[in-house]
Amino acid sequence: MASRSKSSQRWLKEHFSDPFVKKAKAEGLRSRAAYKLEELVERDRLLKPGMVVVDLGAAPGGWSQWVRQELDRLDAARPGRVIALDILEMPSLAGVEFLHGDFREDAVLSQLVGALNGQPVDLVLSDMAPNKSGVDAVDMPRAMYLSELAMDFADRHLRTGGNFLIKLFQGVGFDEYVKELRRRYDRVVIRKPEASRKRSPEVYALAQGKRAVMK
């Protein structure tokens, strides 16, 4: 128990001394994760006025909040849509449509599809991750399953030419997943943004230019 307490204290010390945590607090952003997205999106200029963006695994709302602000900044007259979904509750954000539910359940997916009402999506974001057990043999399959569901959603609802940005964890199934992305998109790159903690196995796959027909 003592070692767990020391570990918790270490995490808290690291968290509150983190420059991205301090910056997010100062700028009124819900999460330091917004700076991961900012770096990834701005490098490739992924946002355009009037876009429809779906944010999977959105809570606490850092990504949705940043996207909403950027779309408004680009062209307030063409605000587009930001639709966020998470299994966790998320306090409301102005201009963000939030759906509360488990993306693995068909009924929740149907609710999301219903919200789109046939409107094609320009950008799918997925920061989904399972609750970790600490056992790789359990955690990696859970993470890959969520990633497969996100890719399937993009297959069905992302417009031709649209983009897909997803958090992945390096391990079993990672290479095969990236290979599948390359069949579906014109360009796929793997990035590790500065705000992503160095010890974390997370990386982000950016898939650009969804093909009309898979290779």
CATH number for 136: 3.40.50.150
Task: Look at strands 185-191 and 81-86 and give their pairing.
Answer: unpaired
DSSP structure class, residue 118: T
Q: Residue 177's pLDDT is what? A: 97
- In whole angstroms, what separates CA 2 from the centre of its chain? 35
Q: Residue 35's pLDDT is what? A: 84
DSSP structure class, residue 196: S
Residues with active-site annotation: 167
**SS3 call for 156:** helix
Evaluate whether residue 20 is within a structural domain. Answer: no
Nearest to 93 by CA among 82, 105, 108: 82
Evaluate whether residue 9 is within a structural domain. Answer: no
Report the domain count for the chain: 1
List of the chain residues with pLDDT < 70: 1-31
The continuous run of DSSP H or E covering 67 comes out as helix 62-74
Q: Residue 10's pLDDT is what? A: 52
Positions at the binding site: 61, 63, 86, 102, 127
Positions at the binding site for S-adenosyl-L-methionine: 61, 63, 86, 102, 127
- Rounded to two decimals, the pTM is 0.86
Q: What is the pLDDT of residues 62-119, one digit of tens each?
A: 999 999 999 999 999 999 999 999 999 999 999 999 999 999 999 999 999 999 999 9
Evaluate whether residue 179 is within a structural domain. Answer: yes
Q: Residue 18's pLDDT is what? A: 65
Q: Residue 12's pLDDT is what? A: 45
Whether 188 contacts 182, CB under 8 Å: yes
Evaluate whether residue 53 is within a structural domain. Answer: yes
Evaluate whether residue 43 is within a structural domain. Answer: yes
The rounded distance, in Å, linking the Cα atoms of 86 and 33 is: 15
Give the domain range for residue 109.
Answer: 35-210
Evaluate whether residue 132 is within a structural domain. Answer: yes
Evaluate whether residue 168 is within a structural domain. Answer: yes
- The length of the chain is 215
The rounded distance, in Å, linking the Cα atoms of 79 and 91 is: 21
Evaluate whether residue 3 is within a structural domain. Answer: no
